[in-house]
Chains A and B, each alone.
Chain A
Amino acid sequence: MTALLHWLTFLLSIILLPVLTLGTIRKTKARLQNRIGPPICQPIYDLVKLSRKGETISSTMCGVFRLSSLLAFADILVLAWLTPWLCFKPWAPHSNIFMVVYLFAFARMFTLLGSLDSGSAFGAFSASREATLSLLVEPAVLLALVSLGIFFGSSDLRVIFSHQTNQTFTDSAIWIAAGLAIFFSSLVELSRMPVDDPTTHLELTMIHEAMILEASGRNLALIEFAHALKMSIFFGLASQCFLRAFPQFNTFNVYSQGGLNIVGILGLALFVGLLESLIVKLQWRKVPEFIAYILSLSLIASLAAIGAGVIK
């Protein structure tokens, strides 16, 4: 019975959390711009509306376009099942750090293929930008996760994120540094504010949005949902890192841990909304500098992890 309940809550959070995260960001931005803004659940209505609409498909496209969004969605679903982004997952499978990172890259590859297949000029150049970004940010994400791996002596995310340690200063420092690195690199991975403005209307400055310009109807709904799910997976990992930096977190029972986890994800979404209202988009050639800062965070985390290992 409890197992069933677990499965149900997990399923519900896979469906609801991405939508709520996206809704929170939009709501925060609207409130900060003195607008009332759409209700938090608006993305659900949008998705439903999109899935009812018909589709326009250019005659130059081959099947790759439809297939790619489907495959990317499936890939993200697998990731949602694999990665320990929620601490109340009913069944924790073995999830290797490298596998997780490259499954994300795999999903991205499908999106790129889809945008190239559409044959539009915008699609092509945004694909090239997206590829550049993913190339740059990959070491940062990987190093951040690896630093945790080094510290806990395992390349299995499941083991890392369920570790019961007697917390010391270095533990907290590493958790926070890794969490910050994961969070900031997720901004790049998800094409959010300092790197790309998701609400821009100018195709020349778009990165992610230009890739899905040609998508419509159900296809667009799939892509949007996959993107939102990816966002909540990243925020879930980051928020868990921050939560585990507090020694008290391990002493809570699984329900309050799960509750805190969800609050953490929504809190990060709130923070992203705040960030997007307050800062401006970086110039394209400044983006590598921003990523370099993230990379240095990961570097600090991994060096601290190595150092802590040496001291022990």
Chain B
Amino acid sequence: MTVTATEICVLTAALLACLIVGSLHLKVNLWLYAMSTLFIALATAAAALEHSETGLFVIAILIALLKSIAIPKFFSWAIDKLHVYRDLGAIIAPPLAMHAAILLFSLSFILTKEIPSPAGPGNGWFGAAGGISLVFTGLLLMLTRRLAISQIFGFLVIENGIYVFALTQTKGMPLMVEMGILLDVLVGVMVSGLLLFKIQKSFEHIDVGQLTQLKEP
């Protein structure tokens, strides 16, 4: 069976994302996220070549600029501002969580085996598995971490996974829809990033585990 360049890039991105779960250093997480997203941009460019679609090139460039440079820059700035460089700890020990992420990575291959393959080169299985694996990794990150900023990272990884899934399973979402999605995600991330500062200001920490004042009695 042949593996296309898109699929190699996607699987690399998924593995890089698995590594995010293994470290508590926020800057390391951010760097890994940026690398993972860069590979997704590369995958998009490769897909553009394979399908010979120019619209995808635009999206690849946008992803590379916005998601793998602008967003990490913004959060890197936020981390410096907040003076929070390490997550306080996770519910599962980070190395174990990383192993779980890798196991989920292989599980996603089993889960996506039955998905009917899209038209075009490659049968789409690896791409789908990479996408679902990214979603799993993001969920794991959101569920195990305590800091608010790590939860945003988790959301970003989930979003990447969904984008990868769309890239490999469908042939060309309408450009307008893609742009709308990208814009929404960007605004959402910015809004939650700004909320981080508010949380830091009024609670003097950004530990979501301690945000329990509204819990039901």
| Bound: A293/B15 CA distance, A | 12
- With both beta carbons as reference points, the residue of chain A lying nearest to B97 in the complex is identified as A292
Within 8 A of A (CB), among B86-124: 94-96, 98-99, 102-103, 105-106, 109
Residues A307 and B94 in contact, CB atoms below 8 Å apart? no
B102 pairs with A311, CB closer than 8 A = no
CB distance from B44 to the nearest CB of A (A): 21
B22 interface residue (CB < 8 Å to A): yes
B9, CB-defined interface residue at 8 Å: no
The segment from A41-49, A198-206, A296-304 that touches chain B is A296-304
Q: Write the chain A residue with the least CB distance to B7.
A: A169
Is the CB of B18 closer than 8 A to any CB of chain A?
yes
A307, B109: Cβ atoms under 8 Å? yes
Q: A292 contacts which of B22, B105, B106 (Cβ < 8 Å)?
A: B22
User: A303 touching B22 by the CB < 8 A rule?
Assistant: no
Whether B22 lies near A300 (C-beta < 8 A) is no
Decide: A296 and B106 in contact? CB cutoff 8 A: no
A163 to B8, alpha carbons, bound, how many Å? Answer: 25
Chain A residue at smallest Cβ distance from B113: A310
The answer to whether A296 and B22 touch across the interface, beta carbons within 8 angstroms, is yes
CB neighbours of B19 from chain A (8 A): 293, 296
A289 on interface, CB distance cutoff 8 Å: yes
How close is A304's CB to chain B, nearest CB, in angstroms?
8
Which residue in chain A gives the minimum CB-CB distance to B106? A303
Contacts of B96 in A (CB 8 A): 292
User: How distant is B6 from chain A, measured CB to nearest CB, in Å?
Assistant: 13
Residue of B at shortest CB range from A293?
Answer: B22
In Å, the complex CA distance between A300 and B103 comes to 8
B99 to A292, Cβ gap below 8 A?
yes
Contact A292 B1, CB 8 Å, known A303-B106, A307-B109: no
**Nearest-CB distance from A76 to chain B (Å)?**
30
A305 to chain B, nearest CB (A): 11
Interface string of B1-42 (1 = CB under 8 A from A): 101000010000001001100110000000000000000000
CA distance A299 to B105 in the complex (A): 11
> Is there contact, CB below 8 Å, between A299 and B1?
no
A299 touches B102 (CB 8 A): yes
> Which of B1, B15, B95, B96 has the most CB atoms of chain A within a 10 A radius of its CB?
B95
Q: When chains A and B are docked, how far (Å) is the Cα of A303 from the Cα of B102?
A: 9
Q: Report B-chain residues with C-beta under 8 Å of the C-beta of A300.
A: 15, 102, 105
- Name the B residues within 8 Å of A289 (CB-CB): 22-23, 94-95
- Bound Cα distance A307, B106 (Å): 8
A contacts, CB < 8 Å to B: 169, 288-289, 292-293, 295-296, 299-300, 303, 306-307, 311
User: Which B residues have a C-beta under 8 Å from some C-beta of A?
Assistant: 1, 3, 8, 15, 18-19, 22-23, 94-96, 98-99, 102-103, 105-106, 109
Smallest Cβ distance from B114 to chain A, in angstroms?
A: 14
Complex Cα–Cα for A299 and B18 (A): 12
11 A-B pairs besides A292-B98, A295-B95, A296-B19 with CB distance below 8 A are A289-B22, A289-B94, A292-B22, A292-B99, A296-B95, A296-B99, A299-B102, A299-B103, A300-B102, A303-B105, A307-B109
Majority-rule SS of A interface residues: helix
A306 to B22, CA, bound (A): 23
10 tightest A-B contacts by CB? Answer: A292-B95, A303-B106, A299-B102, A169-B3, A296-B98, A296-B102, A289-B95, A296-B99, A300-B102, A299-B99
> How many angstroms from the CA of A300 to the CA of B96 in the assembled complex?
14
Q: How far is the CA of A300 from the CA of B98 in the complex (A)?
A: 11
Closest residue of chain A to B98, judged by CB?
A: A296
Query: Across the interface, which residues of B come within 8 angstroms of A306, CB to CB?
Result: 106
A299 and B106 alpha carbons, distance in the complex (Å): 10
Counting chain B CB atoms within 10 Å of each CB, the highest count among A295, A296, A303 belongs to A296
Chain A residues with Cβ below 8 Å from B1 are 311
Q: Which residue of B lies closest to A289 (CB)?
A: B95
Residues of A within 8 A of B98 (CB): 292-293, 296
Chain B hits for A307, CB < 8 A: 106, 109
Cross-chain pairs A/B with CB under 8 angstroms, 15 sampled = A169-B8, A289-B95, A292-B95, A293-B19, A293-B98, A296-B18, A296-B19, A296-B22, A299-B103, A300-B15, A300-B102, A303-B102, A306-B106, A307-B109, A311-B1
Shortest Cβ distance from residue B11 to the other chain A in the assembled complex, whole angstroms = 9
